[in-house]
Each structure stands twice: as structure tokens, then as C-alpha cells.
């Protein structure tokens, strides 16, 4: 009732900031989609940006040698084909000859060489991306061929070539970004919006934009987003599942897993979670179905490992229901660990993520049934980043880890000594499997990654709860919205049904 009252009380917050225009009604009959992102772009330069929201919209502007489809599979991009040498050290990319940058420059091998020299440090400057320091050689035998040599085999290297390729010697990326994608950067007004326009010279018809313009408003308040959708000032928005119900009118609501892992992280270096029996007991004590239904209104996929099923061939489906809800089993394990009377614990939660707070409150009640007395400790996001993510000063926490297309980007978080291994998990066997996966042939790496997942689940490194679904609401005549396993608002697929 409180939420409903708040929603009804919201004013049309975008009126002063957003131009309101009907679709297909402007002088030049242009079609426009108005949507939102939840945070300010952290940089317009693709090599300096790290924010998910920024990545989601600028995938429409920048492209790499390879791209990815809605399943996360690698597909041709600026390179129409490639070969990998038998020893896994040489990648030969065959480039398209019909691509033009948004500034009119014709794309060729010199742009790839320039980009990769900057990324790898072969330019003589500091590398822009540490993942490319494995690159030891760059060669362009002709304008349509690039040969990249790496020092050690890396099953993830092909994935890395999704990185943006920029024009040679172009130095204004931070203010006027230029790429080759289906949309051209038009304008950025800090605190208000980003405007992208259709690339009329785009080379690939199957990925060409169907709309003329995308106006992307920066909106941090979900109530304002709902109000803007209801009033017709937005055509498309992403919202929480339980808020979508407040929209009255002709809308389409879609949902899909977003490749996020919500987990109750247990600090493996802190008592009593340094004992795997205790960690396993906590896993048995938590009813994930209740969280999925109660916190996420059913819009979440229950998990049993640190991968979502969205990860496809890398996902270990043999771990399903590894820890069924079993309070009696939890009590047995606590007794075996010498904690028959239970114990006290603190759950540190970033207070700006209400779903994590709500999940913590459910878990606190569930743990009472096995004698564990948990206390909620809400903190602001900056404090969470410093205390938990950076300094590992916590006992347990609930957070969502965003998924990646490259499984190594996910699983490296649990390797011994990794600076972001905030769970403090240590297992030499795990480290060995991870190292083998990184250097294996791409078709062999998946099995090693599945072994890594198995160890994390068996050792109960954390309680893997769910993959909360992404919810997209759109006008009913706006079609083509597509979910991806990473942050990507694919504007090229959107169109209005006549």
C-alpha cells in the first residue's frame, strides 16, 4: 500500500528535462525510442569506462573484431572470419572491406593495429587494458588482415576481441566518441540524457537500426521511471518486477535471467565460516524458493553454483538442488561442528539495493529455525565497497555479482590471492582447475570451468541464491526488445509495429 501511495504521488519528473514528441509525428517522420539508464555514464571513452549502464548503451556505437549474440556466442564483427594456430598462440583475423567509421574514415587493418597497440602497451605507453598484456606481436600483411601473437595460450582470448576498435590517431573519444556500430553518438547532456542516431552507412543489413533515434534519459529513481512510462514520456524501461504491476495501460512486460548471481557470501577466513561444515549448514538452512517467490515475485532463477544457466555450455547442470532446504540436516552439521546451540552472525548489506536487504530479512528468519541468530547491518554502497569488497572486513554479506561472457572473469574471483576474492576462498585444487581452463583449447576449457563450479558448491564457499530476472516494460507497439547475458540494450532490434 505504501508503494502504491508513493507511486500515485509522483509528479511528472521528466517534464522539464525531456522533450515529448509522438512517434512518427515530427517534420521528417523520424521514429524515436525514449528509454532510461539508472546511472551517469562514467566515461564516453570505451577504454576508460567500466560501468554496466554505460556499456549497455555504447555497445550500439562501438564494435570489436568479434561480437556476441543473445546467447552469448561469439559471432563475426569487424572480422568476417578468423583462424587460431594449433599451438593457440597466433590469431589471424580477416577484416571486412565495407566498413566506415562514424567520422567518415574507412576502416582497415591500421585501425586494429593502432587500437591493440594502445590496449597491450606495444605502443610504448602503459597498457590501457591489462588483459591484453599477453599480446606480444601485431602484424598487418595487408589492409584486410591482422595477425595477433600472444605469449601463452589463453582460452579466453577470442572473447577479448569484443573490445572496441577505434580510428587510428583519433584522440577525442572522451568527448566525441566514434565507432562503427549501427548508432552514431549525437549528444550527451550530463545529468539528463544521451542521444544516439541511426548510422545510415552501417555495413550489415541484418544488424542495421530500424529506428532513427534513441533518447536515453538518466534516471536514478524508479518511481520517476514508472511515472514517465505511465505518462508516455518513456517508451521503454527496465524496472523491478513488483513495480511493473502499478502500470495501467497498454504495455508489454518481458522478463529473462540477467546472468547475475545473488549470493550470501560467507567470509571463509572468519569464524565460524572458516569451517566448511558451518558453511554447508547455512546452505541447508536457507529456503531459496521462498526468496524467489517472496522477494522477487517469482521473477528469479534459483541457483546452486556461481553460474547462471544463461552461461550455456559452461554451466554445470549436475549441481542442481545440491543443498535442498533441510533444517534438520543443518542442525546435524552444526552439532558436528561443535555449534549445537547455534551462533551469532552479522549480514552486511548495501542499503541502496532493496532486494538484497529484503533477502537478508528473509534469511534472518530462516536461520532462526536452526539456532543461528543473524543481525542485519545495512551500510551505504561506498562503505560496502571499502569494507567488504576491498578490505574483506565482514562476516557475511548479500550482493549480486554481474555475469560476464568470459567464465574466467567470474571464476577468477575465487582464486587464491586474487585482490577481489572477498569471500576469502582458498583451494589449491580449484586454482589448478582454473589455470588449466585458462590455457586449454577453447573446446576443452568448459570442463575445467565446470570442475571449478563443483568445488565452490561442494566447499560451500557461499550460498548461491538466485539469478534475479531483468524486467523490461515497453509500449505495446514497440517490438524487438532482446535480452542478453550481459549489459546490452540492443537498440538495433527495436521497431514500431504499424
Q: Where are the alpha helices (DSSP H) in 121-248?
A: 157-160, 222-231, 241-244
Q: Burial-class residue 98 by CB neighbours within 10 Å (0-12, 13-18, 19+).
A: exposed
What is the share, in percent, of the chain residues with pLDDT greater than 70?
94
What is the rounded CA–CA span in Å between residue 26 and residue 15? 19
Task: Render pLDDT for 351-390 as a digit per residue (tens, 0 to 9).
Answer: 988 899 999 999 999 999 999 999 999 999 889 999 999 9
- Residue 92 pairs in a beta bridge with 83, 147
pLDDT at 284 over 90: yes
pLDDT at 49 over 70: yes
Contact in structure between 434 and 398 (CB atoms under 8 Å): no
Q: Which of 1-5, 47-51, 402-406 has the lowest mean pLDDT?
A: 1-5
Angle at which helix 327-336 crosses helix 276-285, to 10 degrees, equals: 160
Query: Which one-letter DSSP state was computed for residue 165?
Result: P
Per DSSP (E only), the strands in 303-448 are 343-350, 372-379, 396-402
221: pLDDT confidence band, cut at 50, 70 and 90? Answer: confident
Contact in structure between 262 and 400 (CB atoms under 8 Å): yes
Angle at which helix 442-458 crosses helix 428-439, to 10 degrees, equals: 160
How many Cα neighbours within 13 Å face the side chain of 462? 29
Domain boundaries, the chain: 2-53+181-250+476-496, 66-160, 260-469
pLDDT at 437 over 50: yes
27: pLDDT confidence band, cut at 50, 70 and 90? Answer: very low
What is the rounded CA–CA span in Å between residue 147 and residue 92? 4
The CATH number of 2-53+181-250+476-496 is 3.40.190.10
Residue indicated by cell numbers 602497451 = 121
Q: What nine digits make up the cell of 178?
A: 566514434
**What is the structure's pLDDT at 241?**
72
State the CATH class of domain 66-160: alpha beta
DSSP-based three-state secondary structure for 313: helix
DSSP-based three-state secondary structure for 427: coil
Residue indicated by cell numbers 594456430 = 85
Domain pair 2-53+181-250+476-496 / 260-469, same fold: no
Query: In what helix (H) or strand (E) does residue 462 lie, and over which residues does it extend?
Result: strand 462-475
Averaged pLDDT, 178-203 = 97
**What is the structure's pLDDT at 392?**
96
What is the rounded CA–CA span in Å between residue 166 and residue 146? 15
pLDDT at 26 over 50: no
28: pLDDT confidence band, cut at 50, 70 and 90? Answer: low
Averaged pLDDT, 65-75 = 94
Contact in structure between 372 and 395 (CB atoms under 8 Å): no
pLDDT at 73 over 80: yes
Q: What nine digits make up the cell of 396?
A: 557475511
Task: Render pLDDT for 143-169 as a digit per residue (tens, 0 to 9).
Answer: 999 999 999 999 999 999 999 999 999
The CATH number of 260-469 is 3.10.105.10
Q: What nine digits make up the cell of 137?
A: 606481436
234: pLDDT confidence band, cut at 50, 70 and 90? Answer: very high
- b vs e for 459-470, b when ≥16 Cβ sit within 10 Å of the residue's Cβ? bbbbbbbbbbbb
Q: Burial-class residue 170 by CB neighbours within 10 Å (0-12, 13-18, 19+).
A: middle
How many Cα neighbours within 13 Å face the side chain of 170? 25
What is the rounded CA–CA span in Å between residue 257 and residue 310? 7
**What is the structure's pLDDT at 389?**
93
Contact in structure between 21 and 28 (CB atoms under 8 Å): no
Contact in structure between 123 and 139 (CB atoms under 8 Å): no
pLDDT at 9 over 50: no
Averaged pLDDT, 213-229 = 92
What is the rounded CA–CA span in Å between residue 249 and residue 438? 50
What is the rounded CA–CA span in Å between residue 461 and residue 430? 12
What is the rounded CA–CA span in Å between residue 401 and residue 468? 11
Residue indicated by cell numbers 587460431 = 84
50: pLDDT confidence band, cut at 50, 70 and 90? Answer: confident
Strands 396-402 and 343-350: parallel
Task: Render pLDDT for 264-283 as a digit per residue (tens, 0 to 9).
Answer: 999 999 999 999 999 999 99
What is the rounded CA–CA span in Å between residue 49 and residue 43? 5
What is the rounded CA–CA span in Å between residue 470 and residue 468? 7
DSSP-based three-state secondary structure for 252: strand
Task: Render pLDDT for 455-467 as a digit per residue (tens, 0 to 9).
Answer: 999 999 999 999 9
Mean pLDDT of the chain: 91
Q: For the chain, first and last CA: distance in Å?
A: 38
What is the rounded CA–CA span in Å between residue 483 and residue 487? 9
**What is the structure's pLDDT at 404?**
87
Averaged pLDDT, 72-86 = 95
**What is the structure's pLDDT at 53?**
87
Q: What nine digits make up the cell of 192?
A: 539528463
Flag whether the pTM goes above 0.85: no
Amino acid at each position: 500500500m505504501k508503494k502504491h501511495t508513493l507511486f500515485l504521488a509522483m509528479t511528472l519528473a521528466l517534464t522539464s528535462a525531456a522533450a515529448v514528441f509522438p512517434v512518427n509525428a515530427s517534420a521528417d517522420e523520424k521514429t524515436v525510442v525514449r528509454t532510461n539508464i539508472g546511472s551517469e555514464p562514467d566515461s564516453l571513452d570505451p577504454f576508460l569506462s567500466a560501468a554496466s549502464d554505460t556499456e549497455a548503451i555504447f555497445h550500439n556505437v562501438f564494435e570489436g573484431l568479434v561480437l556476441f549474440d543473445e546467447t552469448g556466442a561469439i559471432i563475426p564483427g569487424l572480422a568476417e572470419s578468423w583462424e587460431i594456430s594449433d599451438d593457440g598462440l597466433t590469431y589471424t583475423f580477416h577484416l571486412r572491406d565495407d566498413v566506415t567509421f562514424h567520422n567518415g574514415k574507412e576502416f582497415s587493418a591500421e585501425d586494429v593495429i593502432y587500437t591493440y597497440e594502445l590496449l597491450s602497451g606495444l605502443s610504448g605507453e602503459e597498457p590501457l587494458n591489462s588483459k591484453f598484456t599477453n599480446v606480444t606481436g601485431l602484424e598487418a600483411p595487408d589492409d584486410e588482415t591482422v595477425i595477433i601473437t600472444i605469449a601463452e595460450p589463453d582460452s579466453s582470448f577470442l572473447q577479448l576481441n569484443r573490445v572496441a576498435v577505434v580510428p587510428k590517431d583519433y584522440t577525442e573519444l572522451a568527448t566525441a566518441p566514434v565507432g562503427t556500430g549501427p548508432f552514431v553518438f549525437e549528444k550527451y547532456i550530463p545529468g539528463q540524457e544521451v542521444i544516439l542516431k541511426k548510422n545510415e552507412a552501417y555495413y550489415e543489413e541484418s544488424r542495421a537500426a530500424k529506428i532513427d533515434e534513441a533518447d536515453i534519459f538518466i534516471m536514478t529513481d524508479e518511481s520517476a521511471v514508472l511515472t514517465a512510462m505511465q505518462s508516455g514520456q518513456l517508451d521503454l524501461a527496465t524496472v523491478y518486477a513488483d513495480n511493473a504491476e502499478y502500470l495501467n495501460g497498454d504495455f508489454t512486460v518481458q522478463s529473462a535471467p540477467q546472468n547475475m548471481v545473488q549470493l550470501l557470501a560467507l567470509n571463509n577466513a572468519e569464524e565460524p565460516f572458516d569451517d566448511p561444515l558451518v558453511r554447508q549448514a547455512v546452505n541447508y538452512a536457507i529456503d531459496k524458493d521462498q526468496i524467489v517467490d517472496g522477494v522477487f515475485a517469482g521473477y528469479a532463477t534459483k541457483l546452486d553454483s556461481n553460474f547462471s544457466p544463461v552461461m550455456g555450455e559452461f554451466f554445470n547442470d549436475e549441481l542442481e538442488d545440491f543443498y535442498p532446504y533441510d533444517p534438520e540436516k543443518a542442525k546435524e552439521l552444526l552439532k558436528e561442528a561443535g555449534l549445537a546451540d547455534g551462533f551469532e552472525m552479522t549480514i552486511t548489506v548495501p542499503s541502496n539495493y532493496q532486494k538484497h536487504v529484503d533477502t537478508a530479512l528473509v534469511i534472518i528468519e530462516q536461520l532462526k529455525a536452526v539456532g543461528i541468530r543473524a543481525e542485519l547491518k545495512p551500510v551505504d554502497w561506498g562503505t560496502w565497497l571499502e569494507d567488504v569488497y576491498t578490505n574483506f572486513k565482514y562476516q557475511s554479506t548479500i550482493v549480486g555479482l554481474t555475469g560476464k561472457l568470459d567464465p574466467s572473469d567470474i571464476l577468477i574471483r575465487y582464486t587464491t590471492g586474487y585482490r577481489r576474492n572477498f569471500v576469502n576462498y582458498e583451494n589449491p585444487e580449484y586454482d589448478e582447475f582454473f589455470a588449466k581452463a585458462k590455457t586449454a583449447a577453447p573446446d576443452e576449457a568448459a570442463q575445467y570451468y565446470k570442475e571449478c563450479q563443483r568445488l565452490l558448491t561442494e566447499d560451500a564457499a557461499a550460498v548461491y541464491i538466485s539469478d534475479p530476472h531483468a524486467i523490461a516494460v515497453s509500449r505495446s507497439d514497440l517490438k524487438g526488445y532482446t535480452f542478453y547475458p550481459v549489459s546490452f540494450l540492443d537498440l538495433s532490434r527495436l521497431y514500431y509495429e504499424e
